[in-house]
C-alpha cells in the first residue's frame, strides 16, 4: 500500500487531524512511560539522570508496545512489527521525550517534587502538553511523506 500517495491527496486539515490522532497515540505511550518512570524513580529516591533515563526508556517501551499490539493482531511477524513500530514512532517519541525532559528540568523544583506534590503532577502534565504540540508538526511532516504513523495507519 502506498501511504505517501494516499496522504498526498489529503487536504491540509485532514492531514493535521491525522497528525493529531497519531500524536495522541504516541502521547499515550509516552505518558504511561513517563509517569511510571518518574514515579518509580521518585519512590526509589533516584537522582535526576536516572529518573530521566527511566522515564525516557519506559516511554519508548510503552510507545512501541502500543503501536505493536494492532500489528500483532493483524498477523504480522515480530520482525515486521519491530520494523514498523520503529519507523512509525521513533522520531515522534524522541521529539516528545526531548521536550518533555527539558520542560521538567527547567521547572524549578519539579525534579525534587514528591509523588504527593502538586508540582510533580502539574509539571508532568505541562511537560506532556508542550511535548504533544511539539510533536504534532513532526508527525504531520512525516505522514505527509508516507513515513511515521503513515506506515502503520492501515493496521489501526
What is the C-alpha separation between 65 and 25, in angstroms, rounded? 11
The predicted model gives 65-71 an average pLDDT of 92
pLDDT score for 10 = 54
The cell for 49 is 539522570
pLDDT at 156: 67
Task: Specify the pLDDT at position 37.
Answer: 93
137 three-state secondary structure = helix
- Mean pLDDT over residues 75-96, rounded? 93
Whole-prediction pTM: 0.85
Q: Calculate mean pLDDT across residues 66-70.
A: 92
Taking 60 as the threshold, does the pLDDT of residue 8 lie above it?
Answer: no
pLDDT at 83: 93
112-122 confidence digits (pLDDT tens): 888 889 999 99
Assign 3-state DSSP to the chain and report helix, strand, coil percentages, each to 5: 85, 0, 15
pLDDT per residue as tens digits for the range 43-60: 898 998 999 999 999 999
pLDDT at 79: 95
d(CA 34, CA 20): 20
- Give the model's pLDDT for residue 3: 44
Which cell goes with 116?
504527593
**DSSP strand E in the chain: where?**
none
Amino acid at each position: 500500500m502506498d501511504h505517501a500517495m494516499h496522504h498526498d491527496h489529503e487536504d491540509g486539515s485532514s492531514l493535521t487531524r491525522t497528525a493529531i490522532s497519531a500524536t495522541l497515540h504516541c502521547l499515550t505511550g509516552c505518558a504511561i512511560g513517563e509517569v511510571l518512570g518518574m514515579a518509580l524513580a521518585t519512590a526509589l529516591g533516584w537522582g535526576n539522570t536516572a529518573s530521566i533515563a527511566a522515564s525516557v526508556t519506559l516511554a519508548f517501551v510503552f510507545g512501541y508496545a502500543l503501536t505493536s499490539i494492532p500489528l500483532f493482531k493483524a498477523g504480522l511477524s515480530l520482525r515486521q512489527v519491530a520494523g514498523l513500530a520503529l519507523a512509525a514512532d521513533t522520531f515522534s517519541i524522541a521529539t516528545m521525550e526531548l521536550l518533555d525532559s527539558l520542560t521538567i528540568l527547567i521547572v524549578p523544583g519539579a525534579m525534587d517534587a514528591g509523588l504527593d506534590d502538586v508540582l510533580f503532577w502539574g509539571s508532568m502534565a505541562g511537560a506532556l502538553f508542550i511535548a504533544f504540540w511539539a510533536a504534532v508538526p513532526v508527525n504531520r511532516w512525516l505522514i505527509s511523506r508516507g513515513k511515521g504513523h503513515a506506515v502503520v495507519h492501515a493496521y489501526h
